Amino acid sequence: MQAEDPAGYVISIARHGLDEPILTVASPAFPSPFVDRGLAAGLLAGAGVGCLGPCVARVGPSAVIPGLASYWGWLPLFLLVVGGSLWFPETRRFGIGLAVTGTLIGITISVIFS
């Protein structure tokens, strides 16, 4: 015997052979979250890295060696971090967000100021 509650719960009772009846209550299906947290975190982190990466790459090395500074110096480290986060399934959503916004913003800033 099976019944459904108005709130979405499924209630069933079953008897297998001579055993006591078994009551089962299943909760309603939870809706999927509106925003994927890993992707949102990656998008925000990519925006920060895209803005700060070229600036730090230009200002940081110029204090030590004046001819070494370039707006493109952030790109190898950025690609290494993105590749590492895309490699593992647990961080893949974060890596996608990081790659998208970091690349768009970072390359745009590097092209404008170079």
Mapping DSSP to helix (H, G, I), strand (E, B) and coil, where does residue 32 land?
coil
The total of other beta-carbon atoms located within 10 Å of residue 94's CB is: 23
CA atoms within 13 A on the CB side of 73: 14
pLDDT tens per residue, range 85-105: 999 999 999 999 999 999 999
pLDDT tens per residue, range 36-62: 889 999 999 999 999 998 888 887 766
How much of the chain exceeds pLDDT 70, in percent? 91
Q: What is the pLDDT of residue 65?
A: 64
pLDDT tens per residue, range 56-87: 888 776 666 666 677 888 888 899 999 999 99
| Segment 21-32 mean pLDDT | 85
Q: Report DSSP letters for 42-74, one per residue.
A: HHHHHHHHHHHHHHHHHHHHHHH-GGG--TTTT
Q: Which of 97, 88, 80, 84 is nearest to 46 (CA)?
A: 97
Query: What distance lies between CA 6 and its chain's CA centroid?
Result: 36
Task: Give residue limits of the domains in the chain.
Answer: 1-30, 37-113
More confident residue, 110 or 64: 110
